[in-house]
Structure 1
Amino acid sequence: MRWIRQVSLRLQIIGLVLSFTLAVGLGNAFRAHLALDDMAREQFERRSVATALALAAQATDLSLANDLFGLFELLNNTLVSTPDVRYIMVLDENGAVRAHTFGPGVPRGLDQANHVPPGEPWHMTRLSTEEGPVVDIAAPLLEGQPGTLRLGMSEQAILDSVNRHTVQLVGLMALSLAPVLIITYFLGRTLTTPLLKLVDVTNAIRQGDLTRRVPVQGRDEVARLGAAFNEMTQALAESQIALEASNRNLQSRNEELAALYAVATAIANAGTVDELANAALTKSLEVMGFEAGWVFLIPHAGEAPSLRAERGLPPQQAQHLAHGLPGCCLPFEAQHLQTATLVHPGQPCPCLTDTEACAADLITHMAVPLRSRTTMWGTMHLAAKTPDEFTPANQKLLTAMGRQIGMAVENAFLSETQRREAFRQVLFERTLTAQEEERKRIARELHDELAQSLAVLIRDLEDVAHPKLHGQNGWQARVQDTRALAVQILEQTRRLIFDLRPSALDDLGLLPALRRYARHHLEPAGIEMQFTVSGAKHRLPSNIETAVFRIGQEAISNVVKHSAAGQVQINLGFESRQVTLTVSDNGKGFEPAQTLDVTANPANGLGLLGMQERAKLLNGTLIINSKPGAGTSVQATIPLEDSP
């Protein structure tokens, strides 16, 4: 250490200051490196586990269905779309590999490298590979019964990002040393209190306190050194703030992506538009932390929005919204709404506070447009207690979620339209066939019954025209027989006309015609009938009476033909704004979804689908509740004001 005495004091000061500065900078850089590495690894592990569990959930159905093609497609699509994924494989319950993403084959021993302990939802282990460290996650498929999914995620990208940030921090620190090196050269003349204070501040900074500053007095070398040291400290503090902001931004972005992924996963398995609306609303409320909301959809351009889903609202308030969203609850025309927008800023929303049974703690809501690329499909509304809950970040995320949901709604509507068109084609063909069969039946009855009866009647009338051929008594008997035959012909004609369209429907109205038809068909089949009426009975418009009668006719016919029921309850409800017909039986029941799928089996469900079409033509609904062994209930509701 004698050589230090041979060096000038000025150089000693420079060496001392630089040593402390380097120690502080490297210490902070090392601490920042460790903190960033820990946070990045934690987020990476969470994302890896979430990805593995999501893949396991999707692979479960494919494994149970033994759909190896779909399983390989799922694995390969995930491998291509997720850069961090290095391999995916699915093992059966015996540990044998069913599907994998390795080209020539699974590396030896890899399939035995990770197992899920009993009772654990997943298990993670780290493996060393030629490409770097890999996190291996094992996730059971349906509690492990069909097998296990193994997902390998490379940590190399995370490590590279951490090292890059660390190098930037060290470079920034190196740049900050330049003014220190220049200024400290002039501090050799002063070895008093300012140097001691400088050492004290340096020690504090080394402990991580970047708020400390060196007192600067005068304009000499010591003062300049203090100022330079303060600049360096400020640069370090700014770099640390920038690094923390970058970390927060990265974390926020990961949270946004996780929210969008959660919504996409929730709506991916929705079968109908209503299921999609409910799934999207439920998951959006969950990821955004809100408790109540609703969804309005516009099936076709020019139509009024209709309520398709609601969560967290009192029943009366949901019923109030079912009649339509007030015009004041959109900031402007919904068709021009591009981003999530706060409704009624600065004042309570009427649709949340003006109803009798309102949610008292909810006073405002944000309207989220559900848009595809070219079409506005509706709005999703999330309610909150205060406007402050809707931050700009929430607004941006909700706008992205709205576009994602809008694309899904468009696909769902297109799918429903295709299914409806396919059904209508099948229904049209079946209707033509039924019409031809009905014509054949009428012609056969006219030929076999009415034509022959009329021929006999003509012959009897000819005999009656010559009473002397039979005598007085014989002539009277022939007249009686002829009269009885005429009565029989009249009954046959009336029965044939009733099958085509009962005259009671036009003369007396829906109630007598439906009651007579039910009695005429159920009693001969030995089925006990209970016919009830609720509300004030009155005549309905002709098109509504015809539609309700045909729906009831088909429902009663299905009971007789298919239900094997012993009892039937029929209720016809008259209300001020709608009429409701309910036909319930205690028969064997069926699965409505399978029966209504005409694309799978065109011979099934056409009667039920025809009933649905009749109700839809009048803006009504048809609800079918049935289970095997639990009977069937068919309820048709037709509005009286909105029907065309």
Structure 2
Amino acid sequence: MITSSEQSDLTNTRHVFRLLVLYRWLSLIPPLLSWLTTQDTARLIAALAAAVIANLFITFFPSQLNASVRQRPALLLIDLVFCSALAAFSGGWNTPYYLYAFSPLLAAAFFFKLRGALVSALGMALLFVVSGVGVTPNQNWLSLVAQVVGFFLIAGAFGYATTLMARLTSSHLELNRAHRDLEVIHSLTLSLQSASDVNEVEERVLEAVTNDLGFSRAVIALVDQNDHVVSCWLGKARDGRAMFAGGLPHPARLRMTAEEGIIAQCLLDGQPRLGTSETLTANPAINTHLEHGTYHVFPMILREHPVGVLIVNASDENDPARLRSLEAIASQAAVAVGTTMLCIDRAQRLAVQDERIRIAREIHDTVSQSLFGMTFSLDACVKLLPTQPDTVKKELASLLQLAESTRAEVRQSIMGIWPSQLNAESFATDLRRYTAEACRASGVDFDIQVRGDFESLPPQAKRGLYRIAQEALANVVRHANATQAQVRLDIADEQATLAVQDNGRGFDLNLALAREFNREHFGLRGILDRATSLHGTSEILTQPGAYTTVKISVPLSTRLPKS
């Protein structure tokens, strides 16, 4: 397959070759004028006919001649001899074919740069001098010297210009390649920022190395920071073929010790290396997947810690600029892998923390309330035991049922289980049972109502609002000294509003929140946090000596986070 640079070079070669052909035709003007102005027409016609035939042959077969001269430079000697023969046949040193004799010199300069131009100029000078000996009338040695010097000057100038043009073309191609490589690295950097996991990072790096940079094969592997081994091997060929079975990360593990081969050594000292597939690792299975060949090995280092390795099949041309591009890609991949791993680790830590908070809230909202009621009842049983043993016996049986219920609630809190059959009726019924059994409420009249389409609530909203209502009612029983409490859950206009109101003694909200926060409890603070987790708003209206209202509003259309 011809690359764009090769195609451009081929196009330029054709243009210059056409220019050389045009020069050969224009250089026949002096011989034509000489034929028209002299008497010796037979010799001039024969020489002119030979030159025209040679030009026609070059004009109609440029590609074949171009390729032949590049492969066999000695073919230019034929043209040199032909031009010197024309000179000898048409007046020697006074020949009208002097400009025509520059044709092979310019061709040599074009094909073989300055050195070819000077060598051909030397050959042409010798042949030209020999061709004129004995056949040149009125010999002028000064004119001959000027002609010979002209051969060297014109050929040298054209050869030097061709050399400069070749260097300029080479520099242009290198700049284009460097620009393309930088674009690949820039695109890869932007692409890696959106990678969701390390496997996606591996795939995008391999795509850039094989498809964009054009290397035939590439492999990437990651370092397990806990076990200090290289694993998660993923490879790709330029034709799209996966180098490991199924195109999935291979689980082979390579210990990071010097005895394990070049890859391990590269990760240990952080220096790129070049090696054959047989010496890359001490694991025959991995070497088989890498396939036979020579590979560049680039360590992926982040903050002086190895995170992976990039292995690329060495091309025929060992271009330092290309190797620097691969090193840059390895560095970008190291940052992406390290950042992704850090995000995953942070997400895991946050998930653990959120789970701990959830369990703590569940225990506070259920178990602690039940234990509070059991403690209150047991204290009453101790006081009534001497005088009313039958009453105490019944109460203890009830407490046993409550203990069993509490045990089930502990299991639900730990496992994150919630009954799927929760509906509007069970929402109100369970809250009444909760106040009667867990809170041991006495002397408080509870009014609980659910209005609207309860089933339109997401499961997490149902659970969250139920827990908020539990906590609010527990506070009423514990602290409000109230005789009445109302619970209203209204679902309308894409919003659920929960309001819990009592006629108790109220409290100082700021003082209560500060005290709970400092003591790391979850009462009112838990209500506010639950409302926030549901993307809702919370409002607590109270003051010492007055009623208390807890109002929570939750949107139905907002996608709730997973618990």
TM-score range, shorter chain: 0.3 to 0.5
- For the pair shown, the structure with the greater C-alpha radius of gyration is 2
Q: Which has the higher helix share?
A: 2
